Structure 1
Amino acid sequence: MKPYLPELTIRDYNIYLQYLRGVRRQLYTEFGWYSCHLLRYNGVVFAILSDSLAGRTATCQRQRVPGTLCWRRMMCQTQGIRQAAQVEVLLGWHNLQDRRPDELRPAKRLRRALDRVLLRRAYERAVQQNPALERLFGQERDQAVVQMNLNAKNYNLAAEPMSNVYGALYSTLATDDPNQRKSMRYIGSSIGRIFYLMDKAERFEADKCSGRYNVFVVNDLMGQASAVENARRQALAAANDLMRVYSMLDVKLNRSLLDNIMLLGLHHAVEPLEVGAEQENWEIP
């Protein structure tokens, strides 16, 4: 979930970077320095969508970037940025629980154990601030365990837990308009399905070797290349449905930036539009 740089204007690029720094600053001030390394691009899109749908204009100020001596312009605390920081912490924490210790190499196992120790206080603080969000992740985890135990071969059924949690997450960004809430839930569900399929396809060989449940392994696909191609076709179909629903949203701010991310950026993540375009370096400071 990143902008597609070749089609991004300088103005939108600066807005994106200012939100990126703002979410990083919020993580630092609210949850501590160590939580900053959890920052992913999905939380930044979450913040931009939240403020843009509600029409909240963020204040841009010059502040010090956490962990550096650099001062840069960044978006200050908004409801969207605060929500994004909570999402980043909870997503990061649950990602640490995603693999059993015996499935990891010793060095990776040690790193995850250290991350859990250092991030526990940030996680507990995020749960206190947003217990409803933590319940969502708990439900998703329980549903995922059920699918693993059932060895489900149906792709829709396997992707349902991730699809549901992202659908619920994105529905919280909508205003009081029930139609907008329904559209945002559909968009979030599509994004969750895309993420799940692409992630499982990339993990095909590792999961097959470890005996871990993977819907592509259960369907007896011939190797990781076949799994990736299958996931790409399904993800493109989900992305096309997402574009149709997104185009009907009433986005009050940053429309051109969000169009770039939701239409071009997401499509490029599934099927690269340009060779080598994924090697762009994003400048956080």
Structure 2
Amino acid sequence: MKVREYQQFRAAYCGLCHCLKDRCGLAARFVVNFDCTCMAMLLSASECFESSCRRCIAKPFCRRDSYRGDAAFGAAADFSVILAYFKLKDSLQDDRFFARVRSRLLMLLLNGAYKKAKNNAPAFHSAAEKNLLALSELERKSCASMDASADCFARILAAAAEEEKNPQRKRILEQIFYHIGRIVYILDAVDDFEDDIKNENYNVLSYRFGYTDGKLSEASIEEIALTLELSEDRLYTAFELLDAGIWTSILRNILFEGLPAVSTLVLNGEWRNMRKKQREKMNGADI
């Protein structure tokens, strides 16, 4: 990513953080992340980059360039809070006592923001709730269909396009978000596989492929890689039809270079170690 693109991405990240506070309250700012920022940029078709220097909650004595935001960033803020709340709710199924306690405390902290986001984006909330219930039912039945499980999560992200007024752009965004959601679900299942087997948690890949010594076979990994490539191809085809305005080059870098790189690291079992090293390196540094 070029320096100018990185600076714009950081400004978008900061802009979304401020948007979260303005729409859903101070606690909502803690759900901001790179994935939410990517969602906001995909929803936005802005042709003009307007920013201002604003104080950063992480570093109160610093001022950072912050994108002023638009309606798309507001929608992404609501979606991000709803997704974060449901993720915490899902974590209550964790068998570990302290993990459940942590999730309950964070849900209490985020409850006010969640209610505001739910009120702001009722259609997205309804879609998320409906598909998460469907996913929970598949888990209860020990579903062995990777496609069925991934479809539930993919439909949640696809619902982010519901408020788009332009029918053609809406269809394009639905395809993009659907396949991003499908890829994310499958990669998470691969990344969490060994932990899920160890903790006896549901993981669709264990029912679909089986395992030896708590690990997937090379043949299973190859089949997973193939289905990920199919989703990536459809994602790229849809993206070529999207007018993403000022965010086009940044999103192209993320989707066409970053996403395949992450997929390779996850499938090779290298993603967790790399992520840990990145967190250590970025601790105390700028995003």
Q: TM-score, normalising length from structure 1?
A: 0.85
Specify the alignment match of 1:198 in structure 2: 187
Aligned with residue 236 of structure 1, among 210, 229, 234: 229
1:82 is aligned to 2:81: no
Specify the alignment match of 1:189 in structure 2: 178
Q: CA deviation at 1:64?
A: 0.8
Q: Which amino acid aligns with 1:182?
A: R
Question: Contact 1:194 / 1:238 at 8 angstroms: preserved in 2?
Answer: yes
Question: Contact 1:25 / 1:66 at 8 angstroms: preserved in 2?
Answer: no
Specify the alignment match of 1:49 in structure 2: 42
Aligned with residue 52 of structure 2, among 51, 56, 61: 61
Q: Which moved more, 1:34-43 or 1:132-141?
A: 34-43
Specify the alignment match of 1:136 in structure 2: 127
Specify the alignment match of 1:208 in structure 2: 197
Secondary structure, aligned partner of 1:253: helix
1:253 is aligned to 2:246: yes
Q: Residue 251 and residue 37 in structure 1: after superposition, are their counterparts in 2 closer, same or farther (change >3 A)?
A: closer
Per-residue CA distance 1:61-85 (angstroms, 9 max, x = gap): 1111124221111011311221121
Q: TM-score, normalising length from structure 2?
A: 0.85
Question: Contact 1:236 / 1:270 at 8 angstroms: preserved in 2?
Answer: no
Q: CA deviation at 1:32?
A: 3.0
Q: Residue 102 and residue 266 in structure 1: after superposition, are their counterparts in 2 closer, same or farther (change >3 A)?
A: closer
Q: CA deviation at 1:271?
A: 1.5
Q: Which moved more, 1:147-156 or 1:190-199?
A: 147-156
Sequence identity percentage? 21
Per-residue CA distance 1:241-277 (angstroms, 9 max, x = gap): 211221232333332112111211211221249x997
Mapped partners of 1:69, 1:261: distance in 2: 30
1:221 is aligned to 2:221: no
RMSD: 2.5
Question: Contact 2:11 / 2:66 at 8 angstroms: preserved in 1?
Answer: yes
Mapped partners of 2:286, 2:221: distance in 1: 30
Alignment of 1:30-179 (within 5 A): 30-52=23-45, 55-67=46-58, 68-101=60-93, 103-104=95-96, 106-169=97-160, 171-172=161-162, 174-176=164-166, 178-179=167-168
Q: CA deviation at 1:172?
A: 3.5
Q: CA deviation at 1:21?
A: 0.5
Q: CA deviation at 1:86?
A: 0.9
Mapped partners of 2:117, 2:92: distance in 1: 24
Question: Contact 1:207 / 1:214 at 8 angstroms: preserved in 2?
Answer: yes
Q: Which has the higher contact order (CA 8 A, sep 6+)?
A: 1
Q: CA deviation at 1:58?
A: 4.3
Q: Which runs of 5+ in 2 are unaligned?
A: none
Mapped partners of 1:129, 1:113: distance in 2: 23
Q: CA deviation at 1:90?
A: 0.7
Secondary structure, aligned partner of 1:255: helix
Secondary structure, aligned partner of 1:120: helix
Equivalenced residue count is: 272
Secondary structure, aligned partner of 2:103: helix
Mapped partners of 1:141, 1:103: distance in 2: 19
Q: Which moved more, 1:149-158 or 1:184-193?
A: 149-158
Q: Which moved more, 1:159-168 or 1:95-104?
A: 95-104
Q: Residue 233 and residue 140 in structure 1: after superposition, are their counterparts in 2 closer, same or farther (change >3 A)?
A: same
Q: Which runs of 5+ in 1 are unaligned?
A: 1-7
Mapped partners of 2:12, 2:163: distance in 1: 16
Question: Contact 1:17 / 1:284 at 8 angstroms: preserved in 2?
Answer: no
Q: Which moved more, 1:13-22 or 1:264-273?
A: 264-273
